[in-house]
Amino acid sequence: MKIAVIALGKIGLPLAVQFASKGHDVVGVDVNERIVQLVNEGTEPFPGEAHLQEKLSELVPAGRLRATTDYAEAVPGADAVVIVVPLFVNDQTWQPDFGWMDGATRSLAEHLTPGTLISYETTLPVGTTRTRWVPLIEEISGLQEGADFHAVFSPERVLTGRVFADLRRYPKLIGALSDEGTRRAREFYEAVLDFDERPDLQRPNGVWDLGTAEASELAKLAETTYRDVNIGLANQFARFADQNGIDIYKVIEASNSQPYSHIHRPGIAVGGHCIPVYPRLYLFNDPDATVVRAAREANAAMPHYAVDLASAALGGSLANQTVVVLGASYRGGVKETAFSGVFATVAALESRGASVLVHDPMYTDEEIAGFGWIPYTMGGAVDAAVLQADHAEYSALVPDDLPGIRVLVDGRNVTDPAAWASVTRVVIGDGEAR
């Protein structure tokens, strides 16, 4: 098959590589000329994705994969077009910004030829495929869905850093607009993916048809919103535990010892492209979903709560205190700040009068400064530290790394309590923060 992949980001590029590795001819489209250049050189444009470089080194020289900025080079004559363009959500209004996806859809529609399967993998509000993208494609291309082309929503369900493993492990969900679209989508994904055996599933792993695009859209929103709600519940339990001298980690371990409880871990922040974003996309359709909204608000408040703990441990004031935030990334081992808790943590500390520094082993001092923060070098004097990202390096952190430190707020519970016996170490939900 000839396949076009629109947007060669941290999900789109591995998808393009996966498709090419199955013997198909793949052209990736991206507006970033530097990414296009690097892909055509066989060089990964971003670090940290397992097996990506080795696959690029094999597929690009073999002519199976190339990149371009020109839709006219990729879309005409394609058997399938897969779209993984980012959909942004306004951090203040929680409203989706369809701008980039509207632009990508218009561009592909301008070059669409009959017989193409169009698959949207970007997570969307329910109904978007049918009521927004398909009418736009029909209007611009003059072609009719169900006769001249077929549209399907098939959400990406992978985690950056392990995309190729996740593609094999998780069922591929599809939701088309017609029986023929369903047949084409199943045929396509069975030709480009392999699936691990999953005896834990009630039916065989593989392509799962959910019947409609709307059901497939909701499935992606549901599985991610569940995690946000679960974390929100864990955080509320943790705050209650702090007020009542209870160790919530022991409680969660005990609760999860039977098969009907799956309580997640509390923590300082929920970041990334998915968990803090997709509940907002759900709320776009269902604004009265009180449980979803309350969980999102509870999780968004956790950086401020962590700063409250730091202030209390320092005697009630952060004014003129030097505080380092450990971790700019939204999670450990990933060089990415999307919706990271670092932003709210720094803002909350500064609002209390603290002098704030930021450290992250994955970022250079220049990159830290590029965010508008003052970079911190281990060994510099501080009064307190707030651990925001669970980088592996921080698990071995000791007071000597942070001379003068009097308080550590470990927002991820990753440091060794024994190593911090001489310092006030505060963990959200351990029952000591009161």
What does the CA dihedral 83, 85, 86, 88 come to, rounded to 10 degrees? Answer: -90
* Residue in 330, 335, 425 with CA at minimum distance from that of residue 386: 425
207 with 255, same domain: the answer is no
Position 145 pLDDT exceeds 60:
yes
Q: Which residue has the tokens 């500390």?
A: 349
Which whole-number Å values give the CA distances from 21 to 16, 55, 162, 226, 273, in the listed order?
Answer: 9, 8, 16, 33, 26
How many other CB atoms are there within 10 angstroms of residue 130's CB atom?
A: 18
Domain's final residue, options 149, 179, 211: 211
| 220 within some domain | no
pLDDT at 92: 82
95-99 contacts, C-beta under 8 A, 24 or more apart: 95/284, 96/125, 96/280, 96/281, 96/284, 98/132
**pLDDT per residue over 109-141, tens digit each?**
999 999 999 999 999 999 999 999 999 999 999
What range defines the domain where residue 159 resides?
2-211
Report the mean per-residue pLDDT for the chain.
97
263 with 319, same domain: the answer is yes
Q: What is the widest separation between alpha-carbon atoms in the chain?
A: 72
Instruction: Decide if 220 is catalytic.
Output: yes
289 with 151, same domain: the answer is no
| 230 within some domain | no
**pLDDT per residue over 262-318, tens digit each?**
999 999 999 998 999 999 999 999 999 999 999 999 999 999 999 999 999 999 999
Q: Single out the catalytic residue among 10, 55, 172, 220.
A: 220
In this structure, the strands spanning 207-209 and 172-176 are parallel
pLDDT at 434: 44
Helices (H), 111-162: 128, 134-141
| 37 within some domain | yes
Q: pLDDT band at residue 157, thresholds of 50, 70 and 90?
A: very high
417 with 279, same domain: the answer is yes
Q: Single out the catalytic residue among 22, 250, 274, 335.
A: 274
Tokens (6 digits) for 221: 């929103």
**CA–CA distance, 69 with 31 (Å, rounded to integer):** 5
360 with 255, same domain: the answer is yes
| 313 within some domain | yes
Backbone angles phi, psi at 426, to 5 degrees: -115, 130
Beta strands in 226-373 (DSSP E): 322-326, 355-359
**CA–CA distance, 200 with 64 (Å, rounded to integer):** 35
Domain's final residue, options 181, 211, 241: 211
* Residue in 168, 67, 191, 10 with CA at minimum distance from that of residue 117: 191
Residue 128: CB partners within 8 Å, gap ≥ 6? 120, 217
**pLDDT per residue over 158-179, tens digit each?**
998 899 999 999 999 999 999 9
Backbone angles phi, psi at 102, to 5 degrees: -60, -45
191 with 258, same domain: the answer is no
| 24 within some domain | yes
160 with 283, same domain: the answer is no
CATH code for the domain in which residue 384 is found? 3.40.50.720
Region 138-167: mean pLDDT is 97
Domain count across the chain: 2
**CA–CA distance, 50 with 55 (Å, rounded to integer):** 10
Position 433 pLDDT exceeds 60:
no
Backbone angles phi, psi at 193, to 5 degrees: -125, 155
| 392 within some domain | yes
82, β-bridge pairs: 5, 119
330 with 190, same domain: the answer is no
182 with 300, same domain: the answer is no
206 with 262, same domain: the answer is no
Domain's final residue, options 182, 211, 240: 211
373 with 310, same domain: the answer is yes
- Percent of the chain at pLDDT > 70 equals 100
**CA–CA distance, 406 with 364 (Å, rounded to integer):** 26
Region 199-219: mean pLDDT is 98
Position 78 pLDDT exceeds 90:
yes
Instruction: Decide if 274 is catalytic.
Output: yes
Q: What is the model's pTM?
A: 0.92
**pLDDT per residue over 53-75, tens digit each?**
999 999 999 999 999 999 999 99
Angle ∠(239,243,246) on CA atoms, nearest 5: 85
Is residue 350 within 8 A of residue 413, CB to CB? The reply is no
Under DSSP, the state recorded for 179 is H
| 225 within some domain | no
3, β-bridge pairs: 26, 80
What does the CA dihedral 247, 251, 256, 257 come to, rounded to 10 degrees? Answer: 110
Region 323-340: mean pLDDT is 95
Tokens (6 digits) for 228: 């946000």
171 with 318, same domain: the answer is no
Q: Which residue has the tokens 């629109």?
A: 6
3-state secondary structure 291-313: HHHHHHHHHHCHHHHHHHHHHHH
pLDDT at 431: 86
Region 402-428: mean pLDDT is 97
| 233 within some domain | no
